[in-house]
A and B are shown apart, each in its own frame.
Chain A
Amino acid sequence: MSLSALWGLVQTALELGLTCSLTVLALFLSYSMLNVCDLSTDGCFTLGATVGAVVAIAGHPYLSVPAAMAAGILSGFITAVLQTRMGIDSLLAGIIVNTGLYSINIAVMGKSSQLNMNKTETVFTKLKALLDGTPLAGEYELIIELIAVAAVVVFLALFLRTRLGLAIRATGDNPDMVRSSSINPIFTTTVGLCVANAFTGLSGCLLAQSQKSVDINIGSSMVTIALASLLIGRTFFGKGSIARRAVGVVLGSIIFRLVYTIALRFNMPAFMLKLVSSVIVIIAIAGPYFQSQLPTIRRRLAGTGKGAD
């Protein structure tokens, strides 16, 4: 394989890894910090993609990004209201919103299940035109994704150290403490889910615009893939400051895509992606559990055959 072909592969993995790392950062906030497993992620990712696409097709390439994020915030708000004010279990709230979003996403796309953006002006085509003729001309996708990821990482690193950020972290870290403190867990959960889903929407918007099309399945299984990336990142960079851990989950997302790209090179069929991500999530969560059970298992094994006393 030539060097340029190799760079091509790495570049694809980097681009996909960075785009999806925005969703991983969203889960970093909702899953790692707030301790809520937000199962509306798939639908919200697609919502960001469809809203971003529709706004861009309507002739507003710059507006498409904040519009997709606003749609994400709205989706997160509804998920939060269901679980904090209506007594619906948080997992179920996510699933309900996810299901509802399927219809909404098709409605957003004008009763169609896919949209084409081949001739649409997007933030990517804008930058491509701007960089035309410079040495960076080929890297416009990477540049936009890097800027977006850097902005979200910096935002999270600052936000999670504010008083509101600390309150959100405490809500996930010790709900008992928060319940008897002056922090209102309804408020912190709502803000956390809104912010997280803004990133998920942004992630979907950028993926759709970079691949110049969106279809209703663009976000399918995104929550498992993002969770796998998050857990990979946590394994390697799980300790230390918030900024370090946020960078860690971005790297986790890139590592996940790199490994996946390499596996594809070794003729793993593309449809295996979802099984691989499921297995990674299982290993990452079950691994530490079995580790904690190890002393018990050892004693059991040592005890067999000797007879109980």
Chain B
Amino acid sequence: MLTLRNITKTFNPGTVNEKTALTGVDLHLEKGDFVTIIGANGAGKSTLFNAIAGSFLPDTGSITLDGKDVTFQPEYMRAKSIGRLFQDPMRGSAPGMTIEENLALAAGGGGWLSHVSKAEKSAFRDKLALLNMGLEDRMRQPVGLLSGGQRQALTLLMATMVPPKLLLLDEHTAALDPGTAEKVLALTQDIVRDNGLTCMMITHNMSSALELGNRTLMMDAGRILLDLKEDQRKGLTVDDLLRMFKENVGKALDNDRMLLS
């Protein structure tokens, strides 16, 4: 499904700010995999997502998505098969446009000069109703009027409107209040399960990293340190994870936002 071979990326090479963000990352995902990713600040988690999404060209290596080499494909073309959510809920939707217009953009389909049809509008309504946030009655309001949680839920809907081959979630609930975060996370699970999506999720919550999905990656210093698949993950606790990290790196995991609960 997704294969990364020997991906390396160094930012600002040859300067005092030189930073090697990824070093020889190899990764293979099967279709339907739900991978959670944990790691300290600056471990290269978001950079890994940027490489997969095509925000930059890696210094070495190749990326294959669904049997196709996409290493040199520009970001906007890859975005047709990759859905992406960021921590900042303001990043995924256009505030000056209505909910309906945002969804129409996400739905794509039709020609460039086509308008949104009645059938599509009612389909948007049904999808919005699933969020259970009352957004289906506010379709003509600008998205800028929504709360952070509502916007992130809308972004999730937009990113999965046309089910992507791969869904990248970069701490997408971290900026929300706990109640809303839980709700958006539950929605995420529903959508991923119902559409059988292949999904990668960065989280700072170690226990949900172990609970969710079928595989957990631990990253440090631009490498994948641990790759725990189905059976290896079973029965693991947060304490086990912390111990494994210490054994591999030689120092304790220091992510100041890491939740141990």
Chain A contacts to B: CB under 8 angstroms: 158-159, 161-164, 166-167, 169-170, 173-174, 176-177, 179-185
> Residue B31 at the A interface, CB < 8 A?
no
If the complex has contacts A161-B115, A163-B110, are A180 and B97 also in contact, measured as CB distance less than 8 A? no
Which of B61-69, B74-82, B187-195 forms part of the interface with chain A?
B74-82
Q: Which of A162, A170, A173, A179 contacts B115 (CB 8 A)?
A: A162
25 examples of A-B residue contacts, CB within 8 angstroms: A158-B115, A159-B113, A161-B115, A162-B113, A163-B104, A163-B105, A163-B111, A163-B112, A166-B101, A169-B96, A169-B101, A170-B94, A176-B91, A179-B76, A180-B53, A180-B86, A181-B105, A182-B76, A182-B79, A182-B80, A182-B108, A183-B105, A184-B74, A184-B77, A185-B76
Q: Mark B149-191, 1 if CB is under 8 A from A, else 0.
A: 0000000000000000000000000000000000000000000
Q: How many A-B residue pairs have CB under 8 A?
A: 69
Q: Looking at the complex, which one of B74, B80, B93 makes contact with A174 (CB distance below 8 Å)?
A: B93
B112 touches A177 (CB 8 A): no
Which 6 A-B pairs have CB atoms at the shortest separation, nearest pair first? A173-B94, A182-B79, A164-B112, A173-B96, A174-B94, A170-B94
Residue pair B105, A179 in contact (C-beta under 8 Å): no
Question: Nearest residue in B to A171 (C-beta to C-beta)?
Answer: B94
Q: Is B215 an interface residue (CB 8 A)?
A: no
Contacts of B113 in A (CB 8 A): 159, 162-164
Give A170 to B105 CA distance when docked, in angstroms.
9
- Residue from A164, A166, A174, A180 in contact with B84 in the complex, judged by beta carbons closer than 8 Å: A180
Contact A163 B108, CB 8 Å, known A173-B97, A180-B79, A182-B79: yes
Least distance between A28 CB and chain B CB atoms (Å): 14
Instruction: Compute how far the CA of A179 lies from the CA of B111 in the bound complex, rounded to whole angstroms.
Output: 21
- The CA-CA distance from A162 to B108 in the complex, in Å, is 11
